Structure 1
Amino acid sequence: MSNTRPLLVELLTEELPPKALNRLGQAFAHQVRDTLAAQHLLADDCACEDYATPRRLAVLLTVVRDQAPEQSYSEKLMPVKVGLDADGNATPALQKKLASKGWEHLTVADLARESDGKQEYLYANGVAPGIALAEGLQLALDEAIAKMPIPKVMQYQLADGSTTVKFVRPAHRLLALWGDQVVPVQALGLQADRLTQGHRFLAPEVISLKQTDEYVDQLSQAGKVIPSFAQRRENIAGQLAQHAAQLQATIGDDPEVQALLDEVTALVEWPVVYVGQFDQGFLSVPPECLILTMRLNQKYFPLFNPTDGKLTHRFLIVSNMQVADPHHIIEGNERVVRPRLADAQFFFETDRKQTLAERIPALAESVYHNKLGSQLVRAERISQVARFLAERLQADVALAERAAQLAKADLNTGMVAEFPELQGIMGAYYAQADGEAPEVVRALKDQYRIRLDEAVNAETLIGAILFMAERAETLMGIWGIGLAPTGERDPYALRRAALGLISAFEQLAAGGYLPVPDDARLTLEALLQAAADTFEAGVLPATTLNEVRDFIFERYRNQLNAHHDRQSVDAVLALRPALHEVRARILACEAFAQQPESASLAAANKRISNLLKKTDEALGEVDVARLQEPAEQALAQAVQALAPEAAAQLQRGDFAASLATLANARQAVDNFFNDVMVMAEDPAVRANRLALLARLHTLMNQVADISRLAA
């Protein structure tokens, strides 16, 4: 019977890439666990704890066997007629097969025979000894190292000067401890032992572990290392909150704060938070500039006033050094950040010497794409699309064009050259300082948003127009020159542009700028055509508009499928309706699908579609005089009665009511197909019945192609 003890495995390395550290730690731990579990070396109640610090990846498995239990096996070898000769003795083929499996000791009498219904096969049945821990852990280590999601592999030589290995960073120690025993495994040219190391500066001495359960305590107490990524992150978050509260401030709650918290957790092993400050005169610079340089370049946490959210002159430093007197650390960080902030101030003040409008001509020197011209040419295209949108949405055309003309003017400012993440944001600050209209300023600031998530109003209409114009121009231009997304590659973010455009249509409708049902004020096709018209003849292939339209609808389909019934989504998108009507139509379809009449009508609609596809006849109006059968007369009367009501409901945008009205035709439709031969021998009768079905088909498919609701 096997013994069980905790197993600890640790790789001690050079500093690991911080943005990938947590993922690497989890991948290493889980792969070791999964491989050992597959070899039956883990007990059912075994827990897995992963550890990751800037210089180590480790895993602790709480209940691990020294030997896996015996495993029964049954392996299909070959047909009896191949494995046995006429006398029932093993053929050379069978002997070779058994030898390859290490089963030379098995005789024909040891093999079982089973039939698969066609012929008999030979099977080897038995019990195999379980794998030993050392062998199983070696396999697990090899698997874990081979399958780690390393962002960029390093190649380095071992101490022997000739052996080359590949890993994320050079590894210096391998610890493998089962209870109090070292497991004799190796990896990356290292032999396992019971040694680890603490903090590089605070406790650089080698630490020898007697037992696996000493790991966390020894590293923490003697090594000044918190090995758990999650616990270290929680520790940092707590210290940040405590210092911020003492200063009556906050670090903020935007996503960038959480991302920075993850990053600093991967940079320190023994975190200590200190408070720094800078000259309040720098607060005259737009706060986004100061925040970005502190977070991005220095990994500091800026502090904000909790009342109004304004940036303060203090920041928090997450240090890897705990010292009795930290003033040298604090002053050093303050000295480092001062020139960064001074640079930002210099760029801002220098940029202000030239108005944003005066920067427009210089865009001619900035290449957007060699097949699509300069940023100036692009700005002119966006301006033309913005004019089209403003006219369709009855907005101020002059403001829309002005926003489009200025949209890319901040690309050649010193601030954006230093901090490309501030595109648009700096343009808004400079436009505001230049006295541009508030609507233009807001449009410039919001132009790089991922999506519009609030109903458009009078204050945000110009911004929505610029947002849509920029994305329509991007989609048509980039797609048209052959740079459509492929697989995971989407360097021009066309998928994001498509989803942004969809959100704009939705929010325009929410704000009352696009009526439901659509009155052709603005359609996706019209917008894409307006964008296409801004390019020189011959730049875009003739198929570009349809391809981009289908791409946008496909992106919408993927988005909708996550929240709605797939059949209803397919039924609505099959009609390519106005984008801002799609969700309302899907909700109506989902409600209709719950009605008892829906299945029958969907099946009938599918049958009608197939019939109409097969006919080459030109179908005119229904001739009532030619309706001979009571069932077809009744269907014609039902269509005549229901069509006006359904049309009126559709006109009001009440898609659910329109489909509910359609449900009243079920009995007449069922009777028609039960009693009437559509494809009559008389050509005139046949054509008349097909015309009746065509009219019914039109009535049934005004909201969605309900044939797609058929099971």
Structure 2
Amino acid sequence: RTTRGHRFMSRGEIDIATADAYEPTLLAEGKVIPNFAERRANIERQLLAEAAKQGALLNEYADLLDEVAALVEHPTVYVGEFEAEFLAVPQECLILTMRANQKYFPLFDGAGKLLNRFLIVSNMQVADPSNIVAGNARVVRPRLSDARFFFEQDKKQKLEARLSRLAPVVYHNKLGSQLERVERLETLAGAIAAQLHGDVAAAKRAARLAKADLVTDMVGEFPELQGIMGRYYALADGEGEVVADAIQAHYQPRFAGDALPAGNVAAAVALADKLDALVGFFGIGMVPTGDKDPFALRRAALGVLRILIEAPLPLELPKLIDAAAAGFKPGLLTAEGFAAQLQDFMFERLKNLLRESGRDGAVIDAVLALRPARIDLVPAKLAAVEAFRALPEAEALAAANKRIVNILKKTEGTPGEPDIALLQEDAEKALFHEVVEVAPLVRSHVANEDYTDALCALAGLRAAVDQFFEDVMVMAEEPLTRANRIALLAQLAGLMNQVADISRLSA
């Protein structure tokens, strides 16, 4: 029942009368805020108040706040300062130094530019904090000096001159060096940029320099700055802004909700980087299993999907995978069927991504069942299926489509074209004529990417389809009649399932 509180501010040994008295007693006599949530809220209030007093902003601070709240018992916020000359160093370096090494909260102006002031969360509340503030300023100065030294030294050698140093850096023992990877990225990024009618030369240049900052002193000290420092060094080398921006953006998106690379050049390099990793590791059989994903392939797959969908980019996923695979030396990618396995993996990621965005599971299954090559068209197809599903004819057509699919599964060989001369029943003749009449309209809508209009045009077939199944025996004894009716159903199924597998909407 006896405890101690704050190392310096407590009155000494503290008697705790009851369990209920623990927190208030420790706070009053031990100068410790025992509740984490209260301690965190207390720090946040002080940080925001002090930042406002300084006419500054904190920007992102939640993660650091959680960490600091676990380090102090009786938090008090003070303002520190460093020499303005350090602001000549890229602010990302200074921010990372202060946050990661010193647990300081940098301050920013309204435009997001770093100020030469920061907030210290001290574990001491004193009347005169000058010694605490001076001590922290004295500690941070060598850190900032190191960052400035790394930056100035790195600028003495151009990124292009650093490429040879990537040769001994192993990317993976089965996939070669970082330099070999850069050569693949250069080719692939150029090919993607060409498909996007972008600046091929800029894309190839950005891909060539994208990994050069890995062998700089700054990135060696702060790996989190890879790409970011590449951009600064590229600009210092006289590279164009498009190239420099693409060097930084090719890692994006780094996490869920992160910004996407802006522009076709940056998108091409980002896609090349992720596709090379996915194809390479799947090609040597290094596939994520369970919760094990040491090469962050799930993140890479989601990055590819988000870029294709949200940009959006009119690229075909199978062709992108083939183009990435073509960059590897013959005989290197030995895993059997890795391309199909990778596509399955990516469609599974896409299904999860769409579900998390609130899309209906049956609608997602209907669209992805056709494994669309153009991922950028998936949202429009989902919207079309949702609109079709709301029609009164949808349920009956989905059920009929499911019945047709089951019939076709049991059929040997590939059905031919229906022969009008072999049509016997009025119901099959009526269905044939309606299919012939609506087919050009549906195909035109699909070709123009008007998927909602395409599916809605099919709604007019409901009566003819219902009557067909009511009056016609598909599996007739006479072989030619049976084959002709199966051919008619195959034509109908092909028409109905151009946008999505409508049978998936049937309960």
When normalised by structure 2's length, the TM-score is 0.96
Q: How many Å separate the matches in 2 of 1:706 and 1:662? A: 11
The corresponding residue for 2:101 is 297
* Partners of 1:367 and 1:374 within 8 A in 2: yes
2:338 corresponds to 1:544: yes
Counterpart among 230, 237, 252 of residue 434 in structure 1: 237
The corresponding residue for 1:142 is none
**Deviation for aligned residue 1:266:** 0.5
* Partners of 1:442 and 1:460 within 8 A in 2: no
Counterpart among 308, 321, 341 of residue 505 in structure 1: 308
**Residue type of the alignment partner of 1:474:** A
The corresponding residue for 2:9 is 202
Q: Kindly, what percent of the aligned residue pairs are identical?
A: 54
Counterpart among 487, 498, 501 of residue 702 in structure 1: 498
Counterpart among 157, 164, 175 of residue 372 in structure 1: 175
Q: How many Å separate the matches in 2 of 1:666 and 1:235? A: 65
**Deviation for aligned residue 1:206:** 2.2
Q: How many Å separate the matches in 1 of 2:506 and 2:11? A: 70
**Residue type of the alignment partner of 1:244:** A
DSSP-derived class of the 1:590 partner: helix
**Residue type of the alignment partner of 2:23:** V
**Deviation for aligned residue 1:453:** 6.8
2:40 corresponds to 1:233: yes
Taking the TM superposition and a 5 Å limit, the aligned residue runs for 1:231-380 are 231-252=38-59, 254=60, 257-306=61-110, 308-380=111-183
* Partners of 1:453 and 1:507 within 8 A in 2: no
The corresponding residue for 2:348 is 554
The corresponding residue for 1:529 is 322
2:497 corresponds to 1:692: no
Q: How many Å separate the matches in 2 of 1:247 and 1:561? A: 44
2:201 corresponds to 1:398: yes
How many equivalent residue pairs? 502
Q: How many Å separate the matches in 2 of 1:402 and 1:455? A: 20
* Partners of 1:454 and 1:507 within 8 A in 2: no
* Greater relative contact order, per chain length (Cα 8 Å cut-off, separation 6+): 2
RMSD: 1.5
Q: Which runs of 4+ in 1 moved over 4 A?
A: 451-456
**Deviation for aligned residue 1:247:** 1.5
DSSP-derived class of the 1:270 partner: coil
Taking the TM superposition and a 5 Å limit, the aligned residue runs for 1:429-468 are 429-450=232-253, 460-468=263-271
DSSP-derived class of the 2:14 partner: strand
**Residue type of the alignment partner of 1:553:** F
2:461 corresponds to 1:665: yes
DSSP-derived class of the 2:174 partner: coil
**Deviation for aligned residue 1:542:** 3.9
* Partners of 2:193 and 2:199 within 8 A in 1: yes
DSSP-derived class of the 1:222 partner: helix
DSSP-derived class of the 1:622 partner: coil
Taking the TM superposition and a 5 Å limit, the aligned residue runs for 1:132-171 are none
The corresponding residue for 2:476 is 680
**Residue type of the alignment partner of 1:555:** R
Higher-strand-fraction structure: 1
DSSP-derived class of the 2:500 partner: coil
For residues 245-300 of structure 1, give each alpha carbon's deviation from its aligned partner in whole angstroms, at most 9, with x where no partner exists: 22111111x2xx10001110000000011111111111110000000000000000
Q: How many Å separate the matches in 2 of 1:371 and 1:276? A: 50
When normalised by structure 1's length, the TM-score is 0.69
2:431 corresponds to 1:624: no
* Partners of 1:203 and 1:224 within 8 A in 2: yes
Q: Which moved more, 1:213-222 or 1:290-299?
A: 213-222
DSSP-derived class of the 1:210 partner: coil
Counterpart among 171, 185, 189 of residue 386 in structure 1: 189
Q: How many Å separate the matches in 2 of 1:687 and 1:426? A: 67
Label 1:249 to 1:618 Cα distance change in 2 as closer, same or farther (>3 A).
closer
Q: How many Å separate the matches in 2 of 1:418 and 1:398? A: 31
The corresponding residue for 1:409 is 212
* Partners of 2:445 and 2:451 within 8 A in 1: yes
**Deviation for aligned residue 1:389:** 0.3
* Partners of 1:631 and 1:671 within 8 A in 2: yes
Q: How many Å separate the matches in 1 of 2:451 and 2:155? A: 53
Label 1:455 to 1:208 Cα distance change in 2 as closer, same or farther (>3 A).
closer
Q: How many Å separate the matches in 2 of 1:351 and 1:275? A: 32
Counterpart among 391, 398, 408 of residue 602 in structure 1: 398
Q: How many Å separate the matches in 2 of 1:474 and 1:460? A: 22
Counterpart among 381, 384, 406 of residue 585 in structure 1: 381
Q: How many Å separate the matches in 2 of 1:618 and 1:566? A: 31
Q: How many Å separate the matches in 1 of 2:466 and 2:163? A: 67
Label 1:331 to 1:617 Cα distance change in 2 as closer, same or farther (>3 A).
closer
DSSP-derived class of the 2:30 partner: coil
**Deviation for aligned residue 1:201:** 2.4
**Residue type of the alignment partner of 1:488:** D
Q: How many Å separate the matches in 1 of 2:487 and 2:421? A: 13
DSSP-derived class of the 1:275 partner: strand
**Residue type of the alignment partner of 1:526:** K
**Deviation for aligned residue 1:212:** 3.5
**Deviation for aligned residue 1:205:** 2.1
Counterpart among 359, 363, 383 of residue 564 in structure 1: 359
Q: How many Å separate the matches in 1 of 2:215 and 2:405? A: 57
Unaligned runs of 5+ in 2: none
Larger radius of gyration: 1
* Partners of 2:11 and 2:29 within 8 A in 1: no
Q: How many Å separate the matches in 2 of 1:617 and 1:362? A: 58
* Partners of 2:253 and 2:260 within 8 A in 1: no
**Residue type of the alignment partner of 2:322:** Q
Label 1:664 to 1:281 Cα distance change in 2 as closer, same or farther (>3 A).
same
Higher-helix-fraction structure: 2
Q: How many Å separate the matches in 1 of 2:388 and 2:258? A: 29
Q: How many Å separate the matches in 2 of 1:353 and 1:435? A: 13
Q: How many Å separate the matches in 1 of 2:260 and 2:75? A: 44
DSSP-derived class of the 2:385 partner: helix
**Residue type of the alignment partner of 1:229:** F
The corresponding residue for 1:496 is 299
**Deviation for aligned residue 1:197:** 2.1
DSSP-derived class of the 1:545 partner: helix
* Partners of 1:617 and 1:687 within 8 A in 2: no
Q: How many Å separate the matches in 1 of 2:340 and 2:150? A: 44
**Deviation for aligned residue 1:658:** 0.9
**Residue type of the alignment partner of 1:546:** A
**Residue type of the alignment partner of 1:569:** I
Unaligned runs of 5+ in 1: 1-193, 515-521
DSSP-derived class of the 1:570 partner: helix
**Deviation for aligned residue 1:455:** 8.3
**Deviation for aligned residue 1:663:** 1.0
Q: How many Å separate the matches in 1 of 2:11 and 2:263? A: 58
**Residue type of the alignment partner of 1:297:** N
**Residue type of the alignment partner of 2:378:** V
